[in-house]
Amino acid sequence: MNSVFNDEPSQIVVTCPPGVAHVLSRELSELGFRPGASLGSSVETEGTLADCVALNLRLRTAHRVLYALDVFRARNGEDVYDELVALPWERYLDPDGYVSVDRAVDNPTIRDSRYAALKVKDAIADRMRNACGRRPDSGSDRTDACVFLHWVGDRASVYLDTTGVSLSFRGYRAVSSEAPLRETLAAALVLGSGWNRRDPFLNPMCGGATIAIEALWTAQNRAPALLRDNFAFMHLSCFDPSVLTRERASARRDWEEGRKNAPVVVASDVDSAAAEAARANVEAAGAAGAVQIECCDVVASPVPPVREGGRGMAILNPPYGGRIGDPVRLRDTYEDLGAFLAVAAEAGYGSVVITGNPELAEGAGLSARRVRTVHSGGIECALLFDASLSQSARRRFRRRNPGIRIPDAEESLPRGQDAETMNPPQRTASPS
């Protein structure tokens, strides 16, 4: 058993999509870690490199798991070099291996952050050459050992990045669809929706089914990185493979147990190419048969019954009008989405709509009980919780679609809600 890997606790910083750190904090608590300070797109905790293995395998909203080696003051690049050349890199890195250095730098003496990364690489190379007579190669390939420098003002921290390629790459995306959500953000939507994981989960407008797959995996208690066969921690010289074997076996046992009672999950899309992409992704995710895929318009999307007294969940990511779709025609699409939500709410479903164009939702007559802000692909997006279509928008929908029944506004309030709790969409500050 390698004691460097197993017995040396340090600060761990876990990064995530902006706006969902509160969900990541909850995940950390549920895994038995104590979440500390959160900075909007990261949460601190504490643990060993062996703990980082479990975090990499099981966290759904995390991008990277960073294990702190040193925190220090640095006024300039020379200070960084002087501090890091004294670190015992030979305890972590293979002198015949490879290391990449990534950085986030905001220091007045640094105009090009590549210079800061070079200082880190020089320090590692000189230390390793002195200690071992050899030094690892270095470059930008993130599939091997990884080091991360965070340097803001005169405060610098250096980490072993135990992840490498972001954890949002689950390893199942067989076919790429238009404007897919990052898996980590999709997982945050599922975890933050309040879904009970036993009643049905609906994902109309599913695109590549990212949200549906994350929902199924969450309900099955399936660790999201089980398909990945490469993590940066595997390339550390102190890596103890028995830890990964043990953690994978434990995650597989949890999945075996969790999949016995998985709920109904339905994904649908009007576009046949998107439905095909969804089918391929679901299959690659080992979820064929567990996610029902339909090719249909949002208004025709199935709404299976929820259990007596239960509450299903519908999460939708409609086009925004930016990357895909025409904003004028999209008004009708948002109205149709509202009609679907009306039917679903009457049947006992809560809902979350993620849109980069909340004005479009408002213009179509949708108002939400609660609104949060997140970022997706650099676009500020609103999360509309339990959005409901205004009575006048319902009348307009009925005129356009005389054959389709939707309930009146007061009939389709989500269970446990009343009209007073409805507010027009409002932006709230990003939680951090």
Q: What are phi and psi of 268, to 5 degrees?
A: -145, 155
Q: Compute φ and ψ for 75, nearest 5 degrees.
A: -85, -30
Residue-wise burial string across 236-249, b where 16 or more C-beta atoms lie within 10 A, e elsewhere: bbbbbeebbeebee
| Cα dihedral 275, 281, 283, 289 in deg (nearest 10) | -50
To ligand SAM, the closest distance from the beta carbon of 183 in angstroms equals 8
* 381 sits in which H/E element: strand 379-385
- Nearer Cβ to ligand SAM, position 5 or 217? 217
- Scanning 36-44, 112-120, 267-275, 284-292 for contacts with ligand SAM by CB under 6 A, the matching segment is 267-275
**How does 329-363 read in b/e, with b if 16+ C-beta sit within 10 Å?**
ebbebbbbbbbbbbbbbbbbbbbbbbbbbbebbbe
431: nearest Cα among 46, 55, 24: 24
Which residue lies nearer to ligand SAM by CB, 42 or 210? 210
Alpha helices in 149-271 (DSSP H): 183-192, 210-219, 241-258
Which residues inside 136-195 make contact with ligand SAM, applying CB under 6 A?
A: 177-181
- Please state at what angle helix 327-346 crosses helix 391-400, rounded to 10 degrees: 110
Q: Which of 73, 115, 307 is nearest to 201 (CA)?
A: 307
Quote the least distance from Cβ 411 to ligand SAM, whole Å.
23
Can you state the percent helix, strand and coil of the chain, rounding each to 5? 35, 20, 40
Specify the 3-state DSSP secondary structure of 29: helix
The helix or strand, by DSSP H or E, that contains position 151, with its residue range, turns out to be strand 145-152
Q: 165 near 143, Cβ under 8 Å?
A: yes
Of 53-61, 86-94, 220-228, 270-278, the segment contacting ligand SAM by CB under 6 A is 270-278
Taking the complex as a whole, how short is the minimal distance between the CB of residue 390 and ligand SAM, in angstroms? 19
Considering the rule CB under 6 A, would residue 317 count as an interface residue with ligand SAM?
yes
Question: Binding of ligand SAM at residue 271 (CB under 6 A)?
Answer: yes
Min. distance of Cβ 31 from ligand SAM in angstroms?
A: 25
Please report, to the nearest 10 degrees, the dihedral formed by the alpha carbons of residues 193, 198, 200, 202 taken in order: 30
- Rounded to a whole number of angstroms, the minimum distance from the CB of residue 151 to ligand SAM is 34
377: its two tokens: 């692909």
Site string for ligand SAM, 59-98 (x = CB under 6 A): ----------------------------------------
Cα dihedral: 354, 360, 365, 368 (round 10): 30
Nearer to ligand SAM, 105 or 282 (CB): 282
Single residue of 80, 146, 205, 236 touching ligand SAM by CB under 6 A: 205
String of contacts with ligand SAM for each residue 206-235, x by CB under 6 A: xxx-xx------------------------
Whether the Cβ atoms of residue 5 and residue 50 lie closer than 8 Å to each other? yes
> Closer to ligand SAM at the Cβ: 99 or 285?
285
Give 147 or 298: the residue with its C-beta nearer to ligand SAM.
298
Strands 98-106 and 145-152: parallel
Count of residues engaged in binding ligand SAM, rule: CB under 6 A:
23
Task: Give the footprint of ligand SAM on residues 328-387 (CB under 6 A).
Answer: 333, 336
Residue with smaller CB distance to ligand SAM, 75 or 400: 400
Q: Which is nearer to ligand SAM, 69 or 384 (CB)?
A: 384
Nearer to ligand SAM (CB atom), residue 68 or residue 175 = 175
In the complex with ligand SAM, the residue whose CB is nearer, 178 or 276, is 178
Which lies closer to ligand SAM via its Cβ, residue 50 or residue 299? 299
- Give the nearest distance from C-beta 107 to ligand SAM in angstroms: 37
Q: Which of 319, 321, 350, 358 binds ligand SAM (CB under 6 A)?
A: 319
Shortest gap between Cβ of 13 and ligand SAM (angstroms)?
27
Say whether residue 100 binds ligand SAM (CB under 6 A). Answer: no
Please, which residue, 85 or 175, has the CB nearer to ligand SAM? Answer: 175
Give the count of alpha carbons within 13 A of 333, CB side only. Answer: 22
**Which positions from 274 to 293 touch ligand SAM by CB under 6 A, shown as an x/- string?**
x-------------------
Residues binding ligand SAM (CB under 6 A)? 177-181, 204-208, 210-211, 269-271, 274, 297-298, 317-319, 333, 336
